[in-house]
Amino acid sequence: MASHLSPDSALLRHAVATVAYRGGKTFREAPKDFPAFRIKPDSRTPVEILAHMGDLFDWALSMAQGKEIWHEAVPQEWDREVARFFAAVGTFDAYLAGASPVSCSLERLLQGPIADAMTHVGQLAMLRHLSGSPMRGENYFRADITIGRVGPDQAAPKREF
């Protein structure tokens, strides 16, 4: 952890890295038909949820910069949305790691966009199971989640079951 980070900022960045780690596990090896899976006619598809997650991190960055701009992107194909998600998470994390001031409360960033994104990772994991492509469970307490590792290249699971 960089020495210039406050304990609150370090914890927030760890939460962001946790979303990236858990999200990466959920996105990897998703079957071709998973992005369009729908449990009800009016429910969001996985690719729509993933697009929303990218929107959340774009929003978080705008709030951190003091602009608060919400933009709802039109979902792209799955691999492009996965890339967009990791790019948005990376840009947000880099801002938090930099010297620029964060123009809103870190607690609000956690309780808003970051917690929302974590919830959506859980929804996607549940949808993977419901679609017939479940992921292996994992002891996330043992996972190698590191501040700043927010891209698609995550550590291998330490203990799956």
**Each residue of 26-59: pLDDT tens digit?**
999 999 999 999 999 999 999 999 999 999 999 9
How confident is the model over 145-153, as a mean pLDDT?
Answer: 98
**Each residue of 67-101: pLDDT tens digit?**
999 999 999 999 999 999 999 999 999 999 999 99
Number of H helices, E strands in the chain: 5, 0
**Each residue of 4-22: pLDDT tens digit?**
678 999 999 999 999 999 9
> Which is nearest to 91 in space by CA: 20, 10, 144, 18?
20
Domains along the chain with CATH numbers: 7-130 (1.20.120.450)
What pTM, to 2 d.p., does this model score?
0.95
Q: What is the reported pLDDT for 122?
A: 98
Burial 41-55 (b: 16+ CB within 10 A, else e): eeebbbbbbbbbbbb
Q: What is the reported pLDDT for 5?
A: 73
